Structure 1
Amino acid sequence: MEAIIYIAHGSRREAANEKFRIFIKKVMEQSTAAIQAYGYLEHAEPSINQAIARCIEQGADEIKVVPVFLLPGIHANIDIPVELEKHQNIVCHYGKPLGVDDIMTEILVTRLAEAGFAKREEETVLLVGHGSRVPEAEVEFEKLAKRLAKKIDRAVHTAYLTTSPFYHETAERLLGQKVYILPHFLFSGGYNIKIKKELDKTDGMIFCSPVGFDDKLISLIEKRTSEVGNDHKLSDYVTA
């Protein structure tokens, strides 16, 4: 019997983990799968191992694993597969992160509108991501930025928290414009506080809410789940 496991990163903040739990239960309610579970890579329980154990206890002999991560990176490409490879007693089919999709673009457009973005000539957007040592992550992030720019017909600049170009340096280069800081994060909290604290006194900066666990993501997760083919086993997944 096949099961589905949804994997999130996990947060040290229990409030953030609770937001994921509430969200992923909505996803599970809309699925027809008989066996479903969720787990966290770190900082929270159930862990990936605990989620797999629960599925096996319910009779699962194959598992579709869906990483609820925005982009490919060390966690999605390496850390989660390493955990899954420990379970040789069950077949795992591994899916893709949320990635680039019209649904994600729609959410970003909504976040901009909520902050007052009106496509005026003096307005520009700074899309801020975490950053990754995996080149594929930057490629996907730039694709998303281009889609967003086309949708809003305004420039979209990209920058990162942990890799170059850094968000504070890019923000400085955009001084003189009305810059909408758009965080590309699921979990709100420390990263968003850090960005706002550092740029809050900079003229012209307007802070948008992060992607978060928007209900529109439910259909995107369903899409990513349906894309996990039965011929795609964990051993086929090429880590970066």
Structure 2
Amino acid sequence: MKAIILFGHGARDIRWREPFDRLVTLWRDQYVDVPVEVAFLEMMQPSLEEAVSSLADSGATQITVMPVFFGQGGHLRNDFPVLLNVCRKKFPQIALSATPAVGEDKTVLQAIIDFGARAL
């Protein structure tokens, strides 16, 4: 079974998480057969490892981690690969892959431009 993790930075203010929860709701409405979890690098739960564990427990065998970051900063170049490799070692039965940061996708960038244009 395929599954996806929406991976974010995390923040001290719990309200920062709200867009991630809305993404989960949208995902579940549109892709009912593909489980989704959120995970955070720091300051919030669940961690990447906890999210992988939850999806593995529900039967996932292929998990794609989608970094919901604007770009490939130090966290995604340095910290994220370490966390992903820890999960690969802990869950060898799971095929773990990752997408680039969402902000590097041309469609996402165009959506931001369109949002700005609507604001004019």
| TM-score normalised by L of structure 1 | 0.43
C-alpha distance after superposition, 1:126-169 (max 9, x if no partner): xxxxxxxxxxxxxxxxxxxxxxxxxxxxxxxxxxxxxxxxxxxx
Classify 1:77/1:28 alpha carbon distance in 2 versus 1 (closer, same or farther; 3 Å): farther
Using the TM superposition, give the Cα deviation of residue 106 of structure 1 relative to its aligned residue in structure 2, in angstroms: 3.7
> Could you tell me how far apart the structure 2 residues matched to 1:19 and 1:62 are?
25
Q: Aligned residues, how many?
A: 115
Which amino acid in structure 1 is aligned with residue 113 of structure 2?
L
Structure 1 residues 79 and 29: alpha-carbon distance in aligned structure 2, compared to 1, 3 A threshold: farther
1:92 equivalent to 2:96? Answer yes
Match of 2:110 among 105, 110, 119: 105
Residue in 2 aligned with 1:5?
5
Q: Counterparts of 2:108 and 2:86 in 1: how far apart (Å)? A: 34
Contact 1:4 1:33 in 2 (8 A): no
Assess, with a 3 A threshold, how the Cα gap between structure 1 residues 86 and 72 changes in structure 2: closer, same or farther. same
Instruction: Tell me how far apart the structure 1 counterparts of residues 25 and 2 of structure 2 sit (CA, whole Å).
Output: 18
CA deviation profile, 1:174-193 (whole Å, cap 9, x unmatched): xxxxxxxxxxxxxxxxxxxx
Q: Render the CA deviation track for 1:19-47: whole Å, top value 9, x for unaligned.
A: 32123321232124433211111111111
1:44 aligns to 2:48 (yes or no): no
Question: Is 1:70 matched with 2:75?
Answer: no
C-alpha displacement at 1:92, in angstroms? 0.7
Gaps of 5+ in 2: none
Whole-Å Cα distance in 1 between the matches of residues 2 and 105 of structure 2? 27
Q: 1:172-187 to 2 correspondence within 5 Å? A: none
* Alpha-carbon distance, 1:109 to partner: 4.4
Q: Distance in 1 between matches of 2:58 and 2:11?
A: 27
* Structure 2 Cα separation of the partners of residues 108 and 29 of structure 1: 25
CA-based RMSD of the aligned residues comes to 2.0
Aligned to 1:85, the other structure's residue is in SS state helix
- Quick one: structure 1 residues 42 and 63, their matched pair in 2 at CA, closer, same or farther if it must change by over 3 Å? same
With over 3 angstroms needed to count, the CA separation of the structure-2 counterparts of 1:111 and 1:84, relative to structure 1, is: same
Separation of aligned partners in 1, 2:28 and 2:77: 24
**What amino acid is the match of 2:112?**
I
Instruction: Deviation per CA, 1:78-127: give whole Å up to 9, x if none.
Output: 3222111112222211111121414423423433552x4xxxxxxxxxxx
Letter in 2 for 1:92: L
Unaligned runs of 5+ in 1: 117-240
2: CA distance, partners of 1:83 / 1:14? 23
* Aligned ranges 1:188-227 → 2 under 5 Å: none
Residue 163 of structure 1: aligned partner: none
